[in-house]
Copies of this chain bind each other. A is one copy, B any other.
């Protein structure tokens, strides 16, 4: 029931995933039975490998996460994650309220041993490919140890899901010199430097889009602001192009021709289009997608969830951080 176009887009995405990977997995749609059944009927019926579990309540996109989780015990988010906790599902995927899915993942699935703070990471486009920005907004007040854990979890994710060997790690800071930044960054720098991670040192805001590292570590306050700033760049450029086009007819023609080609490049800045953001550090697989997720985006999230199960991301995180602590 999550996302701006639920349940239509979610149901359609699930069907796409099953068609693309027949027999590899089954999908359970969790939501209001009647609404889901209507969508399935509209789309040609219920295929093999698809079942529906009824969840009468819906957490709205603008509900305050913790309040909503307490008040709505039978939301699709709570019921779906309950299935993962009870091992009747192996992964949860949602295009719903990001804060609610993250909080519910932590509360219902629980933290992995050795993880102080579960986190979410966002893959952002760069000139060279993609960089994982972690934490992407889940934890606003972080200690150095938390940033270190984000680096470990991000490194495992990029090795397992994006096939990077020994992913490079950068600490997002206000300068490249070792002693830069606030107290937390300075201590995190020392922890990362002393670890076995492929730590490249401090990176600056300008090193994100140039793709200097595979994993960029920051607290969720900075991560959230950067991501939302990045998402707003296309609209800003659109306004600028419009002003440029308004100057004379030749400009208008050029803008018209160029606009279409450039739009696809700009769309990449919307980081949530690509397979959602993983919740890392919890007991189970949970992926959060953009509220505006298309059926294709939902399909990609399901396929990514399958990959996270197969690559045993959860077990790797647990083993690495447990070893680190003791």
Which A residues fall within an 8 A CB radius of B?
64, 126-127, 137, 140-141, 172-174, 177, 181-183, 185, 204-210, 218, 220-222, 224-233, 235-237, 239-241, 243-244, 251, 254-255, 257-258, 261-262, 264-266, 268
Contacts and interface: CB of A to CB of B under 8 A. Distances in A.
B244 A224 contact: no
Contacts of A261: 244, 251, 254-255
A233 B209 contact: yes
B226 A229 contact: yes
B205 A226 contact: yes
Contact of A204 (B126, B225, B257): B225
B208 A229 contact: yes
Q: Is the interface of A mostly helix, strand, loop or mixed?
A: helix
A207 B218 CA distance: 21
A229 B228 contact: no
A206 B181 contact: no
A225 B228 contact: no
Contact of A240 (B225, B229, B265): B265
Given A174-B137, A261-B251, A265-B244, A229 B229 contact: yes
Nearest to A62: B177
B254 A221 contact: no
A127 B242 CA distance: 10
Contacts of A222: 221-222, 225
A205 B232 contact: yes
